[in-house]
């Protein structure tokens, strides 16, 4: 890849886990509107639940999540009281027939929860929602939190997918990002969850970290491959210190430049593909038999706030501080500050503070951007069928963008718009060409490569 193309197309753009993106949410979407939207969910439809646990017992300096460090369990106990109340309040509004097909525990560090609290939280969910017997239950895990009692509790709540943050095993890199985690710790987690019947293991790896080298990436991936994970997520470190102040602890002089980031990501991708994994979207890899790889091959891959997914639920309901719901009518975000979230829930059961109602144009562009991120292109006929009143304008934009691009990163024909293999590293940049909100806001983003 030439440095000219990297310089031209690696600018700062959104990650497009939603459209419109979160900086364009507004306070006009409140608890009353959220309650109405929840009540309008199809009683025959499917739901996905996301539960946010905004606490860690250490603060990783690379992290851009809504979380806070605590060495005391009392704040978590108080938070869980409010979280259970919100679960009950939302469950009381959602039509009883809607079936939950997926539950994801994120954070923060959900594995900080005491075993009895994990079990109580799942019991609350089962009492409040209609959960399918075969629902996928995934949990983000920190190996430093785990013990046999927690593993047993995870098995009791029905864990089906374990998601482990690895980042990099190089001690120099780990010290620079304040994330000390040995390979042996990580291997013990994989062994423990598999011994308890967990069918799928995912490992997250980062490139673009301080002091990271190609040799270090190779060693880390070699160790990860020895664990035979079902999926590997290969993320570029997003350096956003203006938004996450703890990232100022990372010396910018130690960060690789765009060219080195690209070398690291390309090298890691080749290594994973040579090991038998299939590329899924821009940054995931899965074994050919894994449902994520199957979805990518069949054109049914989806993308939401958790990244690439096979989740086809009609609505995603976010529970907990800062969590975001994705409903047919639009997006809703809860109060991010945990203390204020707890006060709002105690006062009324819900904690929605902002969101975005979707126009037909928003829905169309969300569909196109999702297809670009998942399939590296979109066909015109399905677009015209779904959005007959507005699709012609977007198709004209696609033709103009492709024909005005001299670098062959995308092509347009009579029936489709496609990103070329050379353009795939710049998929986020190409998707941004269809984002009507991007130039309206003042939000800053991480680099595209």
The dihedral through the CA atoms of 158, 341, 163, 310 has a sign that is positive
pLDDT at 1: 66
pLDDT tier for residue 23 given thresholds of 50, 70 and 90: very high
> Is 335 in the same domain as 406?
no
Whether 5 and 42 map to the same domain: the answer is: no
Residues 214-225: pLDDT tens digits? 999 999 999 999
Residue 63 pLDDT: 84
Q: Are residues 304 and 177 part of one domain? A: yes
pLDDT value of position 232:
98
Compute the average pLDDT of residues 304-329.
Answer: 96
Look-up: residue for tokens 């374990």?
162
Instruction: Indicate if 348 and 367 belong to the same structural domain.
Output: no
Q: Are residues 317 and 396 in the same domain?
A: no
Summarised one tens digit per residue, pLDDT across range 73-82 is: 999 999 999 9
Query: Of 338, 357, 376, which closes a domain?
Result: 357
The parent domain of residue 162 ranges over 21-357
pTM given for the model: 0.94
Pairing of strands 200-207, 161-167: parallel
Q: What DSSP assignment string belongs to 28-75?
A: TS-HHHHHHHHHTS-TTSEEEEEEEE-EESS--TT--SS-EE-S-SHH
CATH code for position 409: 1.10.10.920
At 186-203, the pLDDT tens digits run 999 999 999 999 989 999
Q: What rounded mean pLDDT belongs to the chain?
A: 95
Domain end, chosen from 357, 389, 412, is at: 357
CA dist 140 and 250 (Å) reads 24
In sequence order, the 6+-apart residues with CB closer than 8 A to the CB of 324 are 18, 22, 50, 305, 318, 331, 332, 333, 334
Q: Is the pLDDT of residue 446 over 80?
A: no
Which of 332, 357, 382 finishes a domain? Answer: 357
Q: How many domains does the chain have?
A: 2
- Cα torsion for 360, 365, 371, 377, to the nearest 10°? 120
Give the residue among 280, 277, 168 at the shortest CA–CA distance from 217: 168
What are the structure tokens assigned to 250, written together?
Answer: 């990372």
Residue 342 sits in a domain whose CATH number is: 3.80.30.20
Secondary structure (DSSP) of 291-322: HHHHHHHHT--EEETTEEE----SEEEEESTT
- Rounded Cα–Cα distance for residues 368 and 351 (Å): 31
Domain check: are 89 and 112 in the same one?
A: yes
Rounded Cα gap, residues 125 and 15, in angstroms: 30
Round to whole Å and give the CA distance between 165 and 174.
12
- What mean pLDDT is predicted for residues 338-364? 97
pLDDT digits (tens, 9 = 90+) for 250-300: 999 999 999 999 999 999 999 999 999 999 999 999 999 999 999 999 999
The answer on 180 and 272 residing in a single domain is: yes
């Amino acid at each position: 890849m030439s440095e000219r193309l990297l310089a031209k197309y690696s600018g700062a753009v959104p990650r497009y886990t939603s459209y419109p993106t979160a900086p364009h949410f507004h306070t006009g979407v409140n608890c009353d509107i959220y309650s109405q939207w929840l009540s309008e969910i199809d009683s025959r439809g499917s739901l996905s639940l996301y539960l946010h646990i905004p606490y860690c017992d250490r603060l990783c300096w690379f992290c851009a999540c809504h979380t806070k460090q605590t060495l005391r369990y009392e704040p978590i106990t108080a938070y869980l009281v409010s979280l259970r109340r919100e679960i009950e309040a939302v469950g009381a509004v959602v039509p009883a027939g809607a079936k939950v097909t997926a539950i994801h525990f994120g954070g923060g560090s959900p594995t900080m929860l005491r075993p009895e609290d994990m079990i109580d939280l799942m019991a609350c969910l089962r009492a409040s929602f209609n959960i399918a017997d075969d629902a996928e239950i995934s949990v983000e895990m920190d190996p430093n939190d785990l013990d046999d009692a927690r593993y047993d509790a995870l098995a009791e709540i029905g864990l089906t997918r374990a998601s482990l943050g690895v980042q990099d095993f190089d001690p120099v890199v780990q010290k620079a990002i304040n994330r000390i985690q040995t390979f042996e710790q990580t291997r013990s987690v994989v062994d423990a969850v598999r011994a308890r019947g967990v069918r799928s293991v995912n490992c997250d790896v980062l490139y673009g970290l301080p002091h990271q080298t190609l040799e270090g990436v190779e060693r880390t991936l070699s160790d990860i491959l020895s664990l035979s994970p079902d999926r590997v997520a290969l993320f570029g470190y997003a350096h956003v210190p203006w938004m996450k102040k703890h990232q100022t602890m990372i010396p910018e002089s130690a960060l690789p430049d765009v060219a080195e980031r690209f070398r690291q990501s390309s090298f890691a991708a080749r290594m994973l593909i040579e090991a038998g994994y299939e590329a899924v979207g821009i940054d995931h890899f899965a074994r050919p038999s894994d449902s994520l790889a199957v979805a990518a091959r069949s054109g049914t891959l989806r993308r939401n706030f958790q990244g690439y997914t096979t989740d086809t639920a009609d609505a995603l309901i976010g529970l907990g501080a800062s969590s975001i719901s994705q409903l047919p009518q639009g997006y809703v975000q809860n109060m991010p500050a945990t203390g204020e979230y707890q006060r709002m829930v105690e006062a009324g059961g819900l904690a929605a503070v902002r969101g975005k109602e979707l126009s037909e144009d928003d829905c169309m562009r969300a569909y196109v951007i999702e297809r670009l991120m998942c399939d590296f292109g979109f066909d015109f006929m399905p677009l015209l069928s779904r959005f007959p009143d507005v699709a012609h304008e977007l198709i004209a934009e696609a033709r103009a963008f492709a024909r005005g691009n001299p670098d062959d990163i995308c092509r347009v024909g009579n029936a489709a718009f496609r990103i070329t293999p050379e353009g795939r590293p710049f998929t986020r940049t190409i998707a941004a060409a269809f984002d009507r909100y991007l130039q309206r806001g003042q939000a800053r983003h991480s680099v595209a490569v």
